[in-house]
């Protein structure tokens, strides 16, 4: 490395140590420079989330004219792979390889899936919209192509994130693992913010050709950053991975042990699901809401994703500081749900006020509350994981969270279309037939889910136990 390169790395790591949440997770065995390089896989996941949940759903609904129901289902398809995250984490824990790698093969396969999905996605979307010569093709061709592309990206994204977090856990000392995982999620938000601003800038003047360039550029960037992140991170132990041992537990045995470990594991997972659905049901609707109801441009609504991520970043930072002083993680998660209540009220009243500023404030608060909630449940999961099951616990947390998010987003889009159709066609409700009606109904349902989350979480406060070192 050149002298200039070394100085730049020293500046970057020095900045990170002072200002990044969880930066104190660095140790002499695992310096911050190596942690930040490993965290590049989270940058690519954040970029994929921005494209799928932020930019593409707005472009498909407004610019390409695809019905919101189809868009919601397409955006939710990647999350169908989420229930397998616990299985993926378990498999990578026990992967048998003559090379002695456990995590690297799974991360590489996930990267290839992401790349393939992004490579075919822009053309599938153009066929789905019926533009140009594709208007002569049967509709199912575009729908099938888009579904395959979204599924490939989803499978790769969940594989990379689950196994990448497990690799980070392997590299860290037991007492530093929760902070290391927290740093990984902060970098996920950083990737979301940076890519949201970049996509918003490059798509100010939208054309189908530019959309193709953006998505295929994301495919290439994913491949490059993930290879850099993996380079010389995992040590090889051929004896460890050459063959399976008879005493290795099966996935079902490990899962039964995890669920039966006490401390209300099922209630914790249910709470994570309810709260995640409450904070993500509107994800597929925020940008269309800004464009259709408030008249915001593509670049402006894409920057809403950055606003949401910035709020989440501040939430993670505050939660990190407070939880490090011994606060109960479930109490922090409750505070996050409480913040979400006024956030959705602001989003709802932005329509009658016709105020993009009020809308943006509500979006920022949604991100802030979601950050508090996510950090609280993540910390509780790590603290209460049984010995030698941190990877499975992370997989279960991610599986429930991502599944709830996918179902919530799909249900949000479907409810919006159904409600809007009912108020438009029924004579008794025609008087409330305005573009905001379907969106507002979804936001009110999310308020109800937040209250249900609080009711389910209150009994968990004070029950967090520190995980014994493996």
Average pLDDT over every residue of 359-375: 90
Alpha-carbon gap, residue 149 to 142, rounded angstroms = 11
Rounded Cα distance, 439 and 132, in Å: 31
Taking only Cα atoms into account, the Rg of the chain, rounded to an integer number of angstroms, comes to: 22
Distance, CA of 372 to CA of 185 (rounded, Å): 12
- Place 388 in a pLDDT band, splitting at 50, 70 and 90: low
pLDDT tens per residue, range 88-123: 877 777 666 666 677 788 888 889 999 998 888 888
CA distance 181 to 166: 9
**pLDDT tens string 310-357:** 888 888 778 877 877 778 888 999 999 999 999 999 988 888 888 888
Q: Which two tokens stand for residue 26?
A: 């660095």
Sign of CA dihedral 207, 208, 211, 212: negative
CA 19 to chain centre: 23
392 token code pair: 């499975």
- What's the pLDDT band for 242 if we cut at 50, 70, 90? very low
Which residues fall within 8 angstroms of residue 421, CB to CB, at 6 or more apart?
A: none
> How many DSSP H helices and E strands does the chain contain?
19, 0
The sign of the torsion formed by the CA atoms of 234, 113, 316, 178 equals negative
Locate tokens 């956030």: which residue? 343
Average model confidence (pLDDT) across the chain: 77
Least confident of 118-132, 289-303, 308-322, 427-441: 427-441
Q: How far is CA 407 from the centre of its chain?
A: 13
Between CA 465 and CA 48, with CA 367 as vertex, the angle to 5 degrees is: 95
Q: Are 186 and 22 in contact (CB under 8 A)?
A: yes
CA within 13 Å, CB half, 384: 28
Q: Are the C-beta atoms of 380 and 465 separated by less than 8 Å?
A: no
Residue owning tokens 């991100």: 367
The DSSP symbol for 24 reads G
3-state secondary structure at position 389: coil
Q: In this structure, what is the dihedral angle of CA atoms 95, 96, 102, 103, given to the nearest 10 degrees? A: -50
Residue 468 has pLDDT above 50, yes or no: no
State the Cα–Cα distance between residues 309 and 312, nearest whole angstrom: 5
């Amino acid at each position: 490395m050149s002298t200039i390169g070394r100085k730049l790395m020293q500046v970057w790591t020095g900045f990170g140590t002072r200002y990044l949440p969880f930066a104190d997770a660095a140790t002499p065995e695992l310096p911050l420079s190596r942690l930040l390089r490993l965290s590049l896989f989270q940058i690519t996941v954040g970029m994929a989330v921005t494209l799928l949940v932020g930019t593409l759903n707005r472009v498909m609904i407004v610019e390409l004219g695809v019905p919101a129901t189809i868009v919601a289902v397409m955006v939710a398809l990647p999350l169908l792979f989420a229930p397998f995250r616990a299985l993926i984490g378990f498999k990578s824990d026990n992967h048998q390889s003559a090379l002695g790698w456990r995590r690297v093969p799974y991360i590489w396969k996930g990267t290839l899936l992401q790349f393939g999905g992004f490579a075919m996605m822009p053309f599938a979307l153009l066929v789905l919209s019926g533009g140009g010569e594709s208007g002569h093709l049967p509709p199912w061709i575009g729908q099938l192509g888009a579904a395959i592309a979204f599924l490939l990206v989803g499978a790769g994204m969940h594989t990379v994130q689950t196994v990448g977090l497990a690799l980070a856990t392997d590299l860290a000392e037991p007492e530093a693992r929760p902070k290391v995982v927290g740093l990984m999620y902060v970098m996920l938000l950083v990737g979301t913010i940076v890519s949201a601003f970049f996509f918003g800038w490059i798509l100010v003047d939208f054309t189908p050709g530019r959309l193709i360039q953006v998505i295929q550029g994301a495919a290439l960037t994913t491949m490059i950053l993930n290879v850099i992140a993996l380079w010389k991170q995992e040590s090889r132990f051929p004896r460890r991975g050459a063959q399976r041992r008879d005493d290795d537990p099966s996935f079902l045995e490990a899962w039964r042990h995890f669920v039966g470990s006490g401390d209300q594991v099922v209630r914790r997972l249910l709470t994570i699901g309810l709260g995640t659905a409450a904070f993500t049901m509107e994800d597929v609707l925020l940008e269309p809401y800004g464009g259709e109801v408030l008249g915001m441009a593509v670049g402006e609504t894409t920057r809403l994703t950055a606003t949401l991520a910035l709020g989440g970043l501040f939430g993670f930072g505050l939660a990190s500081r407070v939880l490090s002083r011994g606060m109960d993680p479930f109490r922090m998660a409750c505070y996050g749900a409480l913040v979400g209540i006024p956030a959705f009220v602001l989003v709802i009243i932005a329509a009658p006020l016709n105020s993009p500023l009020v809308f943006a404030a509500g979006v920022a608060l949604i991100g802030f509350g979601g950050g508090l909630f996510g950090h609280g449940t993540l910390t509780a999961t790590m603290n209460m994981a049984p010995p030698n099951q941190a990877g499975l616990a992370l997989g279960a947390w991610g599986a429930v969270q991502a599944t709830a998010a996918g179902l919530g987003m799909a249900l949000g889009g479907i409810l919006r279309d159904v409600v809007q159709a009912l108020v438009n066609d029924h004579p008794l409700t025609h008087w409330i037939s305005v573009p905001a009606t379907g969106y507002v109904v979804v936001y009110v349902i999310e308020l109800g889910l937040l209250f249900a989350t609080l009711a389910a979480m209150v009994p968990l406060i004070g029950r967090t136990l520190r995980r014994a070192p493996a």
